[in-house]
A = this chain, B = another copy of it.
Amino acid sequence: MEIEAAKMIGAGLATLGMIGAGLGVGQVWGNYFTAIARNPAAKDEIGANIWIGFAVTEAIAIYALVVALLVLFG
């Protein structure tokens, strides 16, 4: 297989790493909404943690995106 062809397949495979993060970010926000509905005061307790929790989960999708771009153009 030529390297140019392998890059296309490698980049396609690299997106599979995003599967978990997509589900994970959905879980972070979904549980956040459930938490606020059960106990509105939780919004202050959680505070900035929602942003941290979301960001570190989204980061894993970015890792996979970076590998995909490195494979394509690196």
Enumerate A1-60 residues with CB–CB distance to B below 8 Å: 1-43, 45-46, 49-50, 52-54, 56-60
Question: In whole Å, how far is A55's beta carbon from the nearest beta carbon of chain B?
Answer: 9
Q: Which one of B11, B15, B57 contacts A26 once the chains associate, using CB atoms below 8 Å?
A: B57
Residue of B nearest to A62 (CB): B63
Bin chain A's interface residue count: 35 or more
Q: Which of A3, A39, A49, A67 has the most CB of B within 10 A?
A: A67
Q: Which of A30, A40, A59, A70 has the most CB of B within 10 A?
A: A30
- Identify 4 new A-B residue pairs, CB closer than 8 A, beyond the known A8-B10, A24-B26, A31-B31: A22-B24, A30-B31, A31-B34, A33-B42
